[in-house]
Structure formats: structure tokens, C-alpha cells
Amino acid sequence: MKGVLVTVFSLLISYMGMAKDIETLSPDKNLKLNVSVDDDVSMQVYMGTDLLFEVKDIHLDTDHGLVPTRRAKVRSVNRSSVDRIVVPEIKEKFSEIPEKYNETLITFKDKSKLQFRVYNEGVVYRFITDLEGDVVINDEHAEFIFDQSSILTFQQDSSMNSDYEAPYIVKNISEIEQGKTGNLPALLQTPSSVNVLFLESATEDYPCMWLGKGEENLQAHFWNYPKGYNSIKGNSKNRRAILVCEDYIARIKGSRSFPWRIFAIGKQETDLLTNQLVYLLAPECKLEDTSWIKPGWVTFDWWARRGLYNVDFKAGINTETAKYMIDFAANFGIRYFLFDDGWTYKEDLTRTIDGLDMPEVVQYATSKNVDVMLWVTYDLFDSQMDEALHQFEKWGIKGLKIDFINRSDQEVVNFYWRAAEQAAKHKMVLDFHGAYRPDGLRRAYPNVLTREALVEFEQNGGTYKDNPDHHCTLPFIRNVAGPMDYIPGTLNNATKQSFRFNHDTPMGQGTRAHSIALAVITESPMQMLPDPQSDYYREEECTRFLTKIPVEWDETVPLKGKVGDYVALARRSGNVWYAAAITDWTPRNMDLDFDFLDEGREYTMEILKDGVNADIRAIDYKREIVKIKKGDQIHLSMVSGGGWIARIY
């Protein structure tokens, strides 16, 4: 890890018996964690004197019995504090991340441990076990007790073969039916308007946690280890779907640490926009050399080949089409060109279809300073990993998009880690689709640049799910877990009234300014352009503005926001700032303060904003150049589904 250790101290307190209450404060003393050890282990989290929530009956159910045991005896309590700066390999939100927390490590007489940390930004815990041999985890238990009127926002889902693309539901806890489940991140907003976001990190060799509704409260939920698959019917997109499960969730080594359970806490909704707990709690980088990992924009052929025009070749999956798209990437400084579905000969990842000369394409791309990526399915890649990676490296491939994983059990979690490790050996970056949300893998293997786990732009081909309300939700929930491959920047923009389904050339819901602003609002070190390259050539002014937007950021400053309604933030890359704002389907006026700029300097601000007729024709935008300095305020007027974005230099 790159980082500077500022303060570390520890204090060991010995207990021989019951420890009724063990208290830990956040460094700023605004949050308090109280751990109770009695018949079971429970915790209460306070903001000031207000109880935010409780977690009751924290334990593992194993073939060795309950861990910790009922009426557990505390052997010792170790307290420590850390204050340091972490320098990430890939700059998602910041070039430097402060990490400051107070920790309490409780060791029980059965040798199990519970590790708690209290940050200014939240509270976390995890199990540590010291058991001999292999251990079967039947279940992991925790009951999360919030005021029943608290509002829950999460992707409600009931499938162990989830694609993690369910739309967010928003309901009071009391309105969630018993037995309903949903995946993380999940946002709880208390009656006092405090925001608690459920997350997890360091999910290695263990299934992902979901939330389920018990008789009254929320509780931890896990999908069991797979036993039988849909291996006879179908193709590589659904062949790994689980049909039958074992009666346990994991089989593990008995001596290990477990994933972190994270409760990110923000008094204001905008506090969540800069939360970095998932990254900070992840394993440190396992790669000695990361200089080859290149974030960047991507142009790809999935929708693009279906909508090309003004060309003298038949568009499709062929060498001519690929070279045209590579030329486009070179013209606009785009790092990657991606072959999506359809490039393989049948199900052989080492061969291409007729008409596609991969060595010629890659050689041509290299001459243009463009790197080539390939789309593969989980089933084919997992079964052909070694031979495929060797062939890809021989061709000169620099990245993979792995799709249709659609699970989050222990077996598939291990696939993510294996794929990341093996791809890194061949110096290839990764983008996971049909994927569960980020859990810190990208810190251990920074070549994992982004992943899906959301309703993204492609849903516009046949649903209404990817709308401005959704766009105004993502930054507060999904993006807090880590980078997301939303695919912003369509120039095929539609109002709520004019939006229509077209899978081959999807429309985007919202205005042109809204769509381009999403390239700043949505966070990913790898951003993809959805439209045919012909469209981007036709709209060169917007394309130049869009493809200049960085994908790494030295600083992020939240400006305004309300979950599902609107969001505005500023991001800095080097000496250049970008500020962006979007609204839901409600037209909105907003005043933005530019206090984040340096004192004593005058800046030029290039603006793209909703045109005067954008409420009728969503492609209407206006470009302006103005001067701006620290302390100035700008008034924005956004139409329904509108947006505003500025480059400040």
C-alpha cells in the first residue's frame, strides 16, 4: 500500500468473564458504537445521543457450533487508532484518501474475535476465526433494527441467479413483506433524516451479503453454495445458472478473517458521495507493477454496428468495421475499442468468425495508439481461461468485458478473484457485467476498472427503468460501493413524452446536457460511449467536449443533492475542474457556489446547458463561455430531465 502512517496506538484490556458494554467513539466523537455481550453479541450505533440503529445476535452458525458461542466470555479487548493517508492506484474520487478510525477488537474465550471500527463516515465490523481445518458456514446471522418508518431504497430481488439489474424500490421498512430480499448497497433513511448505507468489503472466498425481511426487521441473507447447474440446456449466457444448492453458504479455512459489514453514515445525503469505506477496508494491492493499467474511454460495436451510416462497407463484426471504429477512437483520443458479443467462432474463445482478422485489427489499433478489448461470457471464460488468456495475449488484447455472471455465491465470488489475478498476469484490464456490486476487489487488483450491477443505458432499448429519477439515485447508492459502467453520453436524447423503445439504437431519457453531465455524475475509471460512431462524428462539438472528460479524479466536491431528485458535484483532474448537475423529471432551478476554486485566479468556464427548447426537443443544448472565480455563484435552470455541465480551466 502507498500511504503515510500518521498515528497508531493500541491499548489491551483484559477481561475474564462477561463484558456488558464496550464503547467506541468516532475520531470526531459524533458517532458512538456500543457493543453488548450478554446472551448474544449486539451493537448499538448512536449519532450524538440519538440511537440510529441496532444490530442484534451477531454470530456465525458453523459445523463447529455458534461463533461466538451463546453467553460468550470475553478474554480481552484491544483498542487502537489509525490516522493515515492512503494513495490509491486508480484515482476514482481522490488522489489521496484520508483514513481515520478508532478500533476495538474483542477476543472471546473460544478464540473467535469480532473486530469493530468507527470512522467519522460510518461503523464496520467483521468476524475473525481461529479454528482447525475446514469449517462449514451454515449461515451468518445479524438482525438490523431500525425505526419501522425508516425508508429503505434497494434493488429488491428474489433470484440466486440475479443479474443485479433490478430497479430501486423505495418503501418504509414496515411496508416490506416478510421473506422479501434485495442486494447491496441498500440505503436506510431514518425519521431524523440520517442516511445509513449498507455495504460490504473484502468479500473473498465467501458469498455476498444481501438483506432479507424477517417477521419485523431486516436481517442478513446469503445464497447457499451451488450444487447443480443449468448445464444441459441453453448457451453460455445461462449455462451456469444454479438449479440446486447445498444446505450451507460456504466451506472455508477455519483460520481467517471474514468480509467487513459496513454501515456508511451521512447526516446529509451528499455526505455519501465521497464515502470511501469499501475501498479502505479492502485488501491492499497485490500487484507489484500497476503502471500498465490504463483507465480511459471506450467505444464499442454492440449498438454502434447496428446504426452506422455514411460508410462504404457493410457494417458488422468484421475487420473493416473494426478499423473504422478504431479510427474514430484515435480521432477523439479514446483509449479502447471493444468487440462485444459475436466475435467468437461458435464457443471457442481462441478463434474468430470469418471476416474478422484479429491480428490485423490489433496491429492496426496499436498503430493508432488504441487498445483492443474483448467481450466474453463467464461460462466460456471460466472453462477456457488459461488457453484463452494466452491467445488473447498473443493477439495483443488489453482488456476483457466478462458478462452473464449473474450470481453472488461463494463459488462465483472466487471466480472474480481468480479472473482478476489471471488477467493481471497477462496485463489485461477487466469490466464485469451481469455482476454483483463492487466489494473492494479493485483495490487488491486495480486492473478491475469497473463493473455493471445497475440498471444502465442498455435498458432503454426495451424498458423505462433507466430514467432521470434513477440517474439521480445512482450516485448516492450504487456509486458509493465503487465504479459503475453506466455508459453515459448518448446523443440520441428524448424527453419523457418522446421516448420510444429501440433496441438497435436506444434513446436516452433526458436532455443532451443531462446525458453529457452523466459522464461526470457517474463515476468509473472506464467510461463507454453507447452510440454509433457516425452519430458522434455528426455532433463533433458535443463529442469533443464529452471525450475530454477525465475518468480519474484528484478531488471530488459534493455541491447539492437529494436522492432520486437531483445531484450536483464538482470534480478536479490536475488543474481542470468539471462541475455538473442533473435533475429528475421535475424542472428545477439551482444556484451553485464556486467556493471550491482557488483564491485569486480567474477561470474560463465552457458550459453545455439545456437549450431553450430542450423541454420539447431533448437534443437542444446551448454552449457558452464565461469567466468565473472563487466565490461566484451561477444560477442554473434545468428542464424536465435536464442537466448542466461545465469545464473550468
* Given 121, 143, 301, 458, the catalytic residue: 458
Angle in degrees, 0-180, between the axes of helices 358-367 and 385-395, rounded to the nearest 10: 50
Q: Work out whether the CA dihedral 174, 175, 179, 184 comes out positive or negative.
A: negative
CA distance 264 to 121: 6
Please name every residue paired with 262 in a beta bridge, in sequence order, or none if there are none: 124, 199
Beta strands 74-87 and 2-17, pairing class: antiparallel
CA distance 336 to 297: 6
Q: Is the peptide bond before 167 cis (omega within 30 degrees of 0)?
A: no
Buried/exposed 546-558: b ≥16 CB within 10 Å, e otherwise = bbebbbbbbbbbb
The answer to whether residue 269 is catalytic is no
Amino acid making up residue 236 = S
Buried/exposed 468-500: b ≥16 CB within 10 Å, e otherwise = bbbbbbbbbbbbbbbbbbbbbbbbbbbbeeebe
Q: How far apart are the first and last CA of the chain?
A: 32
Q: Work out whether the CA dihedral 205, 207, 208, 209 comes out positive or negative.
A: negative
**Spatial CA neighbour of 366 closest among 324, 319, 330:** 330
* Given 204, 371, 403, 431, the catalytic residue: 403
CA distance 420 to 413: 11
| Residue found under cell 446504426 | 307
- Beta-strand runs (E) in 278-335: 296-300
Pull the grid cell for residue 412. 462465483
The answer to whether residue 598 is catalytic is no
> Quick one: how far is CA 112 from the chain centroid?
31
Q: Which helix (H) or strand (E) holds 436?
A: none
CA distance 385 to 393: 12
- Beta-strand runs (E) in 296-438: 296-300, 336-339, 344-345, 348-352, 371-377, 399-403, 429-432
Q: How many Cβ atoms from other residues are within 10 Å of residue 579's Cβ?
A: 27
CA distance 440 to 284: 9
CA distance 649 to 647: 7
Residue positions annotated with a catalytic role: 403, 458
